[in-house]
Amino acid sequence: MTFVSREKLFQTPVITGLVSQIDVPGSLFQRFYGLAGRGKPVQGRHTGWDLFHATRSVAGVRAPRSGPATRDRKPYGSKSAQLLRLHEKMVIFDEDLMRYRPAGAPIGSIDDGGKAYVRQQLGYFSQVFRNTREWVVSRMFRGGFGVKSVGDELRLCEFSDSDAIFKVDYELPAGHKDQLDVTGSGDIIDTSWDDASADIVSQITKLDVQAERVSGYPTRHIWLNGNTAYYLFENTQLASIRGTSVRIFDTLSRREIDPASKLPDTGYDIVFGAMPLHRFHVYNGGLVAPGTAENYASQIASANYQFFIPDNYAIITPEPSPDWCEMHSGSEYIRENVTSQMREVYGMNAWSTPVIDPPGQEVKMVDNFLPVLYIPRALFYAEVIF
């Protein structure tokens, strides 16, 4: 017989609560640009839209007593896309619900029917799907993303990944990336923003001129992460236009709390006195690379973390509007179990299917969606530090 101390045998551990050592970004891009929620319903997974461009042409002049000139009819066009499909399951065995205490509750408490356990696991499951949508939206602003094959699964990857078996290309023109050679005759971002003397006001003003030409949508929102935004506060031009005796910005405001999160998204919004029509958004959010393990060390490792907005880059957009970007939610048929009737579900949905031997439930989630960029030329993904 092995003897243990009285303290080890009888002393009750004290549990005071349940803690997560990681907060995750909410759905800032989706909420800001109206891409959260169901979006535009699309039956099936194939979507498309027709094109009929407005005109900037002017009518011709005709001499008196002459007939009308003949104008050709305006041509139509169309675009199409295939929606992205996510589908995963989680098995919760009935045995896991029997006489366990709920996480974070005092010793001696019983999780009645495993309700707390199921709620926490389903919260984790749905969070993974919400994260995926934000990841995809962030890559839309950067020009696209890829999907690669890893073993028997398909995994999201960067657009530049050479292992991608197919790519979703949002067709940003070459002149809308890097230093923004929009006209083909010279870069608009001609001085790196880490140079304190960079003429940022002139660069954004010139960009607005070209934005009017290529789409008619003026730029209004500029997104950077904190490592890049730091240089704005060091810029001598932004300070001199505003006046060196007053603060460089008109407003600097924190974010509201995302409904799915406990804390406001990291970062803040700035309106500089020298550029009152443009709002700079500092957003430090990000997620780990697809396929990263769930353990804590892997989730916080710098090698695995990917900013939604990389260092040295800025995402520049017009005011949010479904006229230039929108979320499409597709549909598919599901049966919740062998006796259920088939039903059509749109976008993100969850259900459970009973299993036996061992008994339990397979909780399943499916999402058919794609953020759609109707006007690629309304968007700019600029390398501002080089």
Cβ neighbours of residue 257 closer than 8 Å, sequence gap 6 or more: 26, 263, 264
pLDDT reading at 263 higher than 80: no
- Per-residue model confidence (pLDDT) at position 2: 76
Report how many helices (DSSP H) and strands (DSSP E) the chain contains, helices first.
Answer: 7, 21
The beta-carbon contacts of 233-241 under 8 Å, at least 24 apart in sequence, are 234/196, 235/193, 235/196, 235/197, 235/198, 235/200, 236/196, 236/197, 237/197, 237/198, 237/199, 237/200, 237/201, 237/274, 238/200, 238/201, 238/272, 238/273, 238/274, 238/275, 241/201, 241/273, 241/274
pLDDT reading at 260 higher than 70: no
Cα pseudo-dihedral 148, 152, 155, 161, rounded to 10: -20
How many angstroms separate the CA atoms of 353 and 298, rounded? 32
Q: Per-residue confidence at 371, pLDDT binned at 50, 70, 90?
A: very high
pLDDT reading at 245 higher than 60: no
Domains delineated in the chain: 28-35+82-329+365-383 (3.30.1930.10)
Kindly report which listed range (14-18, 201-205, 359-363) carries the lowest average pLDDT score. Answer: 14-18
How many angstroms separate the CA atoms of 134 and 315, rounded? 15
Give the predicted TM-score (pTM) of the model: 0.91
Give me the sign of the Cα torsion angle 315, 318, 320, 324: negative
Q: Per-residue confidence at 9, pLDDT binned at 50, 70, 90?
A: confident
Q: Which two tokens stand for residue 385?
A: 């530090």
pLDDT reading at 319 higher than 60: yes
CB atoms within 10 A of CB 289: 17
pLDDT reading at 65 higher than 80: yes
DSSP H/E element including 296: helix 296-300
The 10s digit of each residue's pLDDT in 135-155 is 999 999 999 999 999 988 999
Whether 143 and 381 have beta carbons less than 8 Å apart is answered as yes
**What is the pLDDT averaged over residues 284-295?**
94
Residue the block writes with tokens 């003026």: 218
Q: Per-residue confidence at 243, pLDDT binned at 50, 70, 90?
A: low
Cβ neighbours of residue 368 closer than 8 Å, sequence gap 6 or more: 45, 83, 84, 85, 86, 329, 330, 331, 332, 346, 347
pLDDT reading at 90 higher than 70: yes
The 10s digit of each residue's pLDDT in 21-61 is 888 777 899 999 999 988 899 999 999 999 999 999 999 99
- Per-residue model confidence (pLDDT) at position 173: 96
CB atoms within 10 A of CB 134: 23
